């Protein structure tokens, strides 16, 4: 019976622990890249800014977003609505509000800078706001939009990022432990070819179209005069606009929401490098920043992932079959360890000295207001000094 529970426990841990690491997920980063310039590529800017807004709304702060915009549409001389960028012809949301922080702008968006951001190999003078300061517990969302083709992505109409460059950068990131999980989302033509060469574990990639397919824009805004959003991003945003920060929708539901007929292309995703089941991964693992908090009285101690896993309470229906089993087993295991601890305690209690110490410890823990007691004792000490010095 014990062996069976152990085996099941191991299986559960291997499923429940993310990407086989012993690190825990500590923070979320987003790298949002728009690679095309010129006024007719307004929609790429709008794509990126919409995703920026979504990601910020769901909790990732500006310090952990690297926004790279290759051109300035909001203050473009052709923009009829100066300082405003829209992703819909109803002009309901102004994406270029008060708190947009662009980290790389204009001609700074180059392949070299992009790769430097990913790998973290910057010159000394590059400020922290332009660096991807992720660590081994980070989940990174990498969103790229622009013009692309078979195994390449065009940057600034002048150079291109090839799929093996991207794969190489991701491999470097993995070796330098700059991410725990990475979600690459590409919205270009023939997007799925861009992540053909990826081999690093912990990477999930989705592209808006397969090889040989184009990705299309959604609609034209006759007021502004150009298309304002791409289809893939439009339907992604449609999915997210229904969510708030507390929702538990899974990546699976996001990926299944893409309808090839509406997209006019096939949204293809590869999960062979990504261990966890997509139905168990909430979207806020990448697109937002919702962390489980475990209250502890002691500070500056790192806790192991096993404790955090055993305390996960998931309410969503698709999570129940797996986690019910794991919770029961975890409870059994905890009971077993408790029994063992009790046995050890009864052995130790035979020694009276340790009994006394244990009693003292309990009493000390019960005293809540230690500080007033200490202050009172100091006052008593000083009184005793004064009395004894005047008497003797």
Partner 1 sequence: MTKDDGEMVEEQKKKPCRFWIWALSSVLFRLILISYAGNLNLSSRPEVSTPLTSIRRLAEGYWLKQASMSPYAGSMYHGSPLLLSLLGPLTVQRIKGQPSHLFCSLVFVIADILSAILLRGIGKKLQMAYGLNARLLGLLKSPRDKAGILPCGDIAALVYLWNPFTIVCCVGLSTSPIENLAVILALNGAVTRRVPLAAFGLVMATHLSLYPAILTIPVIFLLGYGLDAPPLKLFLQTRNVESGNRSSTSSASKQAKSKPTAQLPFLWKTVVHFVFWALVWSLCVMVLCRLSLSKHGGLEEMFKRTYGFILSIEDLSPNIGVFWYFFAEVFDFFRNFFLIVFHVNILFMLLPLAIRLKHRPCFLAFIYLAISSLLKSYPSVGDSALYLSLWALFVNELADMKFSFFLFCGYLGVSLLSPVMHNLWIWRGTGNANFYFGNAIGYACFQIVFVVESVSAMLNHDRALKKCNPNHQKVKN
**Under the criterion CB under 8 A, does residue 297 sit at the interface with partner 1?**
yes
Does 385 bind partner 1 (CB under 8 A)? Our answer is yes
Angle at 136 between CA 199 and CA 306, to 5 degrees: 105
Q: What are residue 170's DSSP bridge partners?
A: none
Distance CA 165, CA 351 (A): 67
For partner 1, the closer of residues 98 and 371 by Cβ is 371
Q: Which residue lies nearer to partner 1 by CB, 295 or 350?
A: 295
Active site residue 147: yes
Query: Contact between 293 and partner 1 (CB under 8 A)?
Result: no
For CA atoms 118, 119, 125, 127, give the dihedral sign.
positive
Catalytic residue among 122, 147, 164, 277: 147
Beta bridge partners of 65: 30
In this complex, which beta carbon is closest to partner 1, that of residue 246 or of residue 353?
353
At CA 162, angle to CA 47 and CA 251, rounded to 5?
Answer: 45
Can 189 be counted among the known catalytic residues?
yes
Task: List strand residue ranges (DSSP E) for 231-285, in order.
Answer: 268-270
Compute how many residues bind partner 1; rule: CB under 8 A.
19
Whole-number Å distance between alpha carbons of 202 and 140: 11
- Regarding 338 and contact with partner 1 (CB under 8 A), the answer is no
The order of strands in the sheet holding 203-207 is 104-105, 65-69, 27-34, 138-145, 181-187, 203-207, 268-270
3-class DSSP state of 269:
strand
Check if the beta carbon of residue 144 is closer than 8 Å to that of residue 186.
yes
Q: Which lies closer to partner 1 via its Cβ, residue 312 or residue 385? A: 385
- In this chain, which of 220, 245, 381, 383 binds partner 1, going by CB under 8 A? 381
- Take residue 121 and report the two structure tokens written for it: 């190999």
Q: Give CA separation, 187 vs 83, 149, 258, 375, in Å.
A: 25, 11, 13, 66
Which among 34, 44, 189, 218 is annotated as catalytic?
189
Binding status of residue 328 toward partner 1 by CB under 8 A: no
Coil, strand or helix: which one is 278?
Answer: helix
Q: Looking at 261, 300, 304, 317, which residue binds partner 1 (CB under 8 A)?
A: 300
**Interface residues for partner 1 in 208-247 (CB under 8 A)?**
none
Shortest distance, position 353 Cβ to partner 1, whole Å: 17
Compute the least distance from the CB of residue 239 to partner 1, in Å: 41
Q: Does 335 bind partner 1 (CB under 8 A)?
A: no
Regarding 375 and contact with partner 1 (CB under 8 A), the answer is: yes
- Cβ proximity to partner 1, 340 vs 354, nearer residue: 354
370 interacts with partner 1 by CB under 8 A? yes
337 sits near partner 1 (criterion: CB under 8 A): no
Name the residue nearer to partner 1 (CB basis): 302 or 367: 367
Q: What is the DSSP letter of 209?
A: S
Subset of 346-365 contacting partner 1 (CB under 8 A): 364-365
d(CA 377, CA 307): 40
294 binds partner 1 (CB under 8 A): no
Task: List contacts with partner 1 (CB under 8 A).
Answer: 297, 299-300, 364-365, 367, 370-371, 373-375, 377-378, 381, 384-385, 388-389, 392
Q: Which residues are catalytic?
A: 147, 189
């Amino acid at each position: 019976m014990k062996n069976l529970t152990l085996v099941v426990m191991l299986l559960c841990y291997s499923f429940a622990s993310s990407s086989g690491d012993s690190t825990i997920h500590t923070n979320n980063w987003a790298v949002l890249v728009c690679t095309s310039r010129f006024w007719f590529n307004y929609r790429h800017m709008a794509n990126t800014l919409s995703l920026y807004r979504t990601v910020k709304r769901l909790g990732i702060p500006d310090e952990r977003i690297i926004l790279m915009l290759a051109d300035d549409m909001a203050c473009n001389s052709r923009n009829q609505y100066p300082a405003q960028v829209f992703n819909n012809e109803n002009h309901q949301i102004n994406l270029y509000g008060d708190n947009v922080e662009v980290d790389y702008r204009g001609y700074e968006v180059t392949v070299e800078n992009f790769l430097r951001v990913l790998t973290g190999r910057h010159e000394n003078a590059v400020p922290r706001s332009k660096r991807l300061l992720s660590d081994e517990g980070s989940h990174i969302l990498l969103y790229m939009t622009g013009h692309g083709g078979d195994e390449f992505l065009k940057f600034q109409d002048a150079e291109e990022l090839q799929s093996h460059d991207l794969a190489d950068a991701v491999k470097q990131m993995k070796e330098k432990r700059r991410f725990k999980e990475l979600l690459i989302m590409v919205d270009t033509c023939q997007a799925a070819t861009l992540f053909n060469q990826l081999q690093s574990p912990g990477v999930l990639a989705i592209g808006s179209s397969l090889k040989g397919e184009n990705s299309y824009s959604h609609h034209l805004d006759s007021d502004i005069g150009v298309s304002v959003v791409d289809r893939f991003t439009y339907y992604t945003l449609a999915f997210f606009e229904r969510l708030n920060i507390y929702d538990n929708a899974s990546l699976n539901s996001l990926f299944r929401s893409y309808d090839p007929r509406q997209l006019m292309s096939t949204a293809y995703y590869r999960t062979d490098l990504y261990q966890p089941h997509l139905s168990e991964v909430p979207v806020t693992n990448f697109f937002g920043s919702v962390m489980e908090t475990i209250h502890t009285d002691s500070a500056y101690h790192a806790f192991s992932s096993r404790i955090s896993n055993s305390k996960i309470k998931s309410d969503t229906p698709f999570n129940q079959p797996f986690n019910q089993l794991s919770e029961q087993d975890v409870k059994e295991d905890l009971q077993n360890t408790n029994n063992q601890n009790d046995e050890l305690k009864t052995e130790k209690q035979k020694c009276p000295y340790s009994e006394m110490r244990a009693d003292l410890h309990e009493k000390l823990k019960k005293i809540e207001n230690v500080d007033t007691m200490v202050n009172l004792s100091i006052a008593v000490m000083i009184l005793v000094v004064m009395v004894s010095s005047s008497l003797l």
